[in-house]
Amino acid sequence: MPPKAKATAKAANPEPKPAPEAPPETVGERSKQRYYQTNPVEKRFEEVGFPGLTAAEKKTYTHTNLILPVANRLVSLSNKTDREYWKHVAKEGLPCRRLKNSYHWGQDKHGRDIGTYRFEELKKRSLNQAKLTALDVLHRQFLTKRDAARSNGTELPQEDIDQEKERRKEMATLKRELYGEIPGPLANDPEWDDVAPIPQTEPEDALARIAYPDEYAEAVSYLRAVMAAEEYSPRSLRLTERIIGMNPAHYTVWLYRFKIVATLNLPVLDEIEWLNGVAMDNLKNYQIWHHRQLLLDHHYTSISSDPEACKQFAKSETDFISKILAEDTKNYHVWSYRQYLVTKLNYWSPFELATTQSMIEDDLRNNSAWSHRFFVVFSDPSVSTKGSAPTEHDPKVPSEIIDREVAYAKEKIELAPQNQSAWHYLRGVLVKGGRGLDTVGEFASQFVSNLGSDDEDVKSSHALDLMSEVYHKQGDIEKAKLCLQRLSEKWDPVREGYWKYRLSELK
Amino acid sequence: MSRPDAEEPKLDKARHIKYWQRCHNTFLPSAYTSNDSTRLTFAFFIISALDLLSVPLTAQDRAAARAWVLSLQHPDGGFCGSPTHSLTGENASKGSANIAATFFALIILGLVAESEEEQRSAFAGVDRKALLLWLKKLQRSDGSFGQVLWEGEPTGGRDMRHSYLASIIRFMLRGSVQEGDENWVEDIDTEGMIEYIRSVQTYDGGIAESSTEESHGGYAYCAIAALNLLDRHSETFTPGEPKRALDRGIADRSGLLRFLASRHFPYLAKEEETRDETAVNHLQAKLGELSLDEGLPYVGFNGRWNKKADTCYTWWACGSLRLLDCDNFYDPKPSCNYLLDITQHRIGGFGKSVGDPPDIYHSYLGLTTVALLGGSELKEADAGFCCSKEGARKIEVARDGLLESLKRQSEQRGGWGADEFWGKATEVVKVK
């Protein structure tokens, strides 16, 4: 192959001059340009294909693409051709090292191709990466220094730890910015470095999966680790608070927390103060009140011999309970705890009775308050038999108390004759006092007039119900039946089936 | 007062299916994080709702449910409430099993079994002996049950729910094994359980956490169902008991019936909707204003005296009355209408009360109540199990299948007392 011919071919057939290219705007464009710069004729090849190239271009293209195979002896040429070949390569300055096509810059945390970054964006990213690397070096240095200190039985100065905390915050920000990684606050806290979290793992097809917030998942993984290690420490106490903030119904974190309080002998009153805030935020939670009950038991052992301290404590507790009940007057857990408190601290005070009174006056139909009143009156050990069931007569209760409570219920019934709570309270009091329903038959009859006649009027279905029982007891079956019939037909038809059942029971 | 439009309210079955399939197939939103400890409960609601709606699960879904449930089993017996409470490997015993989770785990295993063969082996992989022994440890000397063992002690309130769960778990696993048999496990103290339940009746005939606390429809259901399940057990296996647990465990039956019969009331839709949020008492119609002739469009149920209507109390009250054979105390139609017209939600599921968005708990109990009241192309509900009757039957098949396979295994081991040998061997190893 005479090289001369080529030279003339080149002269006769000059390469089409490409329009001067605009400077690249993005990282990807620059890569592409550099690729073409190091791969002569490649762009033309892409545009027109091999047959479309000029002879010179064809030659350049072929020669360029043969460089590697020839150098690696994948294509064997005769000595002469080989010499010719390399001479040409040298003469034309064909590139021996070329950039590869389609370099991938990768994606950022949003899934955006970094190739589409502008230069300043890439510069910022690279700078951040460099910063992160530098911080990581310092971070490792910290770990090594701390290990060394610990092996000498000392700890690093607080200053170093604080710096490390700052450093990790910075690293976390960088990681989030660069890679969308969200290292949790615990992983960032050198205090937790010695704990290997136990993350919860489950298959993708698990049932009732919850989209846990990252912070919760992280906190739980540390909680599992410290609970398994039976660690009772200030930091694990703080960890329980994190978990409780996100999942107050966690059924063992509370038990664990109590164990920490007891083991570290932390002041119960501080714990209660903290708990007050949690209780206000989670009115319907049961675990909070169980925890409070454990705290009460625990605290009681230290104050049981001091009646004044017990009274003080009962007072501060009932004050808080009143606050909660002002938010939610029928909160079951709160009333349950209140009973527990009264029994435990022997707080059978006139104050309790007065509380029920004022709550009932606020809302005659607050059955929780009625129920608490029954408890306060009939479980007070000074005037009742221990263990006497609410459904049975207790001879120890003084008759004045029975009289007082009967009068109380009657008074409230008169204010609202259809109030279920007051009527059932009245029935309960009579059972406790060993008194028959007939003792209030006349009282009930004031709410019923002209039964069975055209101008019949009933102000209370509960009165009519009670009267039927009184008539029955007195042997007046017909009248007892009439009461039930009128309830079924006219005064309480929603319970027709029940009244019919009661009728069938009359004998 | 009759319903303004004559059209009968209907269960929007397609929407409910959509609602439950969404719960089944996708993540529950982050707001459910505070329910993380009761994921098995939610899993049960999802699987059982799809069962009531006759939506078949794929073989893959059923296998996945089994695998997930069994992964929550605690090595010392029982099931943990969610993966959060369950550990693996050498830490496995540091997890914490929960009585409610255990019931829901067992019932899911039963529900996802399809063929007869699957049903018989539904409890394969359940450590029956460890579970029953764990259950026994949860019982306190007063007959009540705790919800978890903490440092070896039953912990949690003396809650009637725990008595119910203990009774149903016992029913699901105990079976007719006689003392002396290798698979015999010492029973819980059933007499203590009955005594405890008997002791919590309140002055108004209701049932509470303890006899001095406020009576509550949910606790009443749990007490009645706990006793009912003790009876179901003895009916099957020891005929001729002197008196049913249900009779012995209720001190004042007529008081209890009055309490249960008082849980429903005419629901005044218009008034409730327009009234302000903070009111806590139900609205009463003027006495005598409503009569049957005009029809009662809506009947709501509450759990305590004077409280507002709530979807779930329809279940607790109607379920209780069913177990006591007192269905006729209320009219199912207006009760159902309340659910279908007032708390059924446009997107499927049920809310707690008027205007509330649906949540898993109320959606499930609403649906089960509609099934109990015989409505709308749903499978029949079992009042004691709170799932379909078909599901309850599967559980019995599963129990009998498990006992049979245990029996076969011990026969194969022959008279070597292998179990005892290996049991002792592990103890020796543990001591080391």
Within an 8 Å CB–CB cutoff, is residue A340 touching chain B?
A: no
A-chain residue closest to B196, CA distance: A389
Fill in the DSSP letter of residue B286: P
Q: Would you say B9 and B337 are in contact if contact means Cβ atoms under 8 Å apart?
A: yes
Q: Provide CB contacts within 8 A for A280, sequence distance 6+.
A: A323, A324, A327
State the Cα–Cα distance between residues A358 and B242, nearest whole angstrom: 49
Q: Quote the pLDDT of residue A417.
A: 96
Q: Provide CB contacts within 8 A for A167, sequence distance 6+.
A: A135, A138, A139, A142
Q: Count of domains in chain A?
A: 2
Segment A245-256, tens digit of pLDDT: 999 999 899 999
Residues of B in contact with A209 (CB under 8 A): 26-28
Q: Say if A444 falls within a structural domain.
A: no
Place of tokens 């079976």: B175
**Residue from B138, B204, B293, B324 whose CB has the most chain A CBs within 10 Å, to mutate:** B204
- Give the least confident one: A475-489, B126-140, B242-256, B291-305: B291-305
Within an 8 Å CB–CB cutoff, is residue A368 touching chain B?
A: yes
Token pair of A30 as six digits: 């620059």
Q: Would you say A418 and B284 are in contact if contact means Cβ atoms under 8 Å apart?
A: yes
State the Cα–Cα distance between residues A209 and A277, nearest whole angstrom: 30
State the Cα–Cα distance between residues A469 and A476, nearest whole angstrom: 10
B-chain residue closest to A430, CA distance: B203
**Residue from B112, B301, B305 whose CB has the most chain A CBs within 10 Å, to mutate:** B305
State the Cα–Cα distance between residues A57 and A50, nearest whole angstrom: 9
Please calculate the CA angle A379-A381-A385 and round it to the nearest 5 degrees. Answer: 75
Percent of chain B with pLDDT over 90: 75
State the Cα–Cα distance between residues B265 and B283, nearest whole angstrom: 9
Name the strand (E) or helix (H) holding B266: strand B264-266
Q: Quote the pLDDT of residue B275.
A: 61
Of A251, A370, A419, the CB nearest to B37: A251
Maximum distance among all Cα pairs of chain B, rounded to whole angstroms = 79
3-state DSSP assignment of residue A331: coil
Q: B33, B27, B42: which is closest to B72 by C-alpha? A: B42
Residue A141: pLDDT band (50, 70, 90) is: very high
Q: Quote the pLDDT of residue A65.
A: 86
| β-bridge mates for residue A387, sequence order | none
**With 80 as the cut, is the pLDDT of residue A193 above it?**
yes
Beta strand pairing call for B153-155 and B148-150: antiparallel
Same domain, A81 and A9: yes
Within an 8 Å CB–CB cutoff, is residue A226 touching chain B?
A: no
Q: Quote the pLDDT of residue A177.
A: 85
Q: Which amino acid is at A362?
A: D
State the Cα–Cα distance between residues A195 and A495, nearest whole angstrom: 62
Q: Say if A130 falls within a structural domain.
A: yes
How many C-beta atoms surround the C-beta of residue A200 within 10 A?
A: 18
- Distance from the A472 Cα atom to the nearest Cα atom in chain B, whole angstroms: 15
A251/B156 touch (CB, cutoff 8 Å), yes or no: yes
Within an 8 Å CB–CB cutoff, is residue A375 touching chain B?
A: yes
Within an 8 Å CB–CB cutoff, is residue A258 touching chain B?
A: no
B215/A371 touch (CB, cutoff 8 Å), yes or no: yes
3-state DSSP assignment of residue A249: coil
Within an 8 Å CB–CB cutoff, is residue A232 touching chain B?
A: no
**Residue from A447, A498, A504 whose CB has the most chain B CBs within 10 Å, to mutate:** A498
Average pLDDT of A42-60? 88
Q: Provide CB contacts within 8 A for A204, sequence distance 6+.
A: none
Q: Would you say B65 and B71 are in contact if contact means Cβ atoms under 8 Å apart?
A: no
- Give the least confident one: A99-103, A258-262, B379-383: A99-103
Q: Say if A471 falls within a structural domain.
A: no
Q: Say if A486 falls within a structural domain.
A: no
Residues of A in contact with B87 (CB under 8 A): 198, 224, 228
Within an 8 Å CB–CB cutoff, is residue A460 touching chain B?
A: yes
Residues of A in contact with B278 (CB under 8 A): none
- Full DSSP string of A167-194: HHHHHHHHHHHHH-----TTTT-GGGTT
Segment B119-158, tens digit of pLDDT: 999 999 999 999 999 999 999 999 999 999 999 999 988 8
Of A211, A371, A497, the CB nearest to B214: A371
State the Cα–Cα distance between residues A15 and A89, nearest whole angstrom: 18
CB pairs below 8 Å between A and B: how many? 229
Token pair of A449 as six digits: 């007039």
Residue A41: pLDDT band (50, 70, 90) is: confident
Domain extent at residue A35 = 3-92
**With 50 as the cut, is the pLDDT of residue B402 above it?**
yes
Token pair of A419 as six digits: 């109030």
Q: Quote the pLDDT of residue A455.
A: 94
Name the strand (E) or helix (H) holding B149: strand B148-150
Residue B250: pLDDT band (50, 70, 90) is: very high
A-chain residue closest to B202, CA distance: A390
Residues of A in contact with B42 (CB under 8 A): 207-208
Of A286, A335, A418, the CB nearest to B284: A418
In the listed set A92, A126, A161, which residue is the last one of a domain according to the structure?
A: A92
Residues of A in contact with B142 (CB under 8 A): none
Q: Residues for chain A: how many in total?
A: 507
Residues 136-155 of B with CB under 8 A from A: 147-148, 150, 155
State the Cα–Cα distance between residues A412 and A426, nearest whole angstrom: 10
Token pair of A131 as six digits: 């910063």
B20-29 core/surface letters (b: 16 or more CB in 10 A; e: else): bbebbeeebe
Residues of A in contact with B214 (CB under 8 A): 332, 335, 367-368, 371-372
Q: Say if A28 falls within a structural domain.
A: yes
Q: What is the reported pTM?
A: 0.83
What's the sign of the alpha-carbon dihedral B136, B137, B141, B143? negative
A207 in the Ramachandran plot: left (φ > 0), alpha (ψ -120 to 50) or beta? beta
**With 70 as the cut, is the pLDDT of residue A309 above it?**
yes
Residues of B in contact with A390 (CB under 8 A): 201-203, 211-212
Q: Would you say B325 and B224 are in contact if contact means Cβ atoms under 8 Å apart?
A: no
3-state DSSP assignment of residue B153: strand
B212/A459 touch (CB, cutoff 8 Å), yes or no: no
State the Cα–Cα distance between residues B73 and B102, nearest whole angstrom: 8
**With 70 as the cut, is the pLDDT of residue A18 above it?**
no
Q: Would you say A384 and A394 are in contact if contact means Cβ atoms under 8 Å apart?
A: yes
Q: Say if A220 falls within a structural domain.
A: no
CA dihedral of B123, B125, B130, B132, whole degrees rounded to 10: -10
Segment B31-77, tens digit of pLDDT: 999 999 999 999 999 999 999 999 999 999 999 999 999 999 999 99
Of A209, A290, A490, the CB nearest to B157: A290
Place of tokens 């994606």: A107
Q: Provide CB contacts within 8 A for B5, sequence distance 6+.
A: none
In the listed set A125, A157, A192, which residue is the last one of a domain according to the structure?
A: A192
Q: B396, B74, B50: which is closest to A207 by C-alpha? A: B50
Q: Say if A359 falls within a structural domain.
A: no
Could you tell me the end-to-end alpha-carbon distance of chain A, in angstroms, rounded to an integer? 130
Question: Chain centroid to CA B295: how far?
Answer: 33
3-state DSSP assignment of residue B145: strand
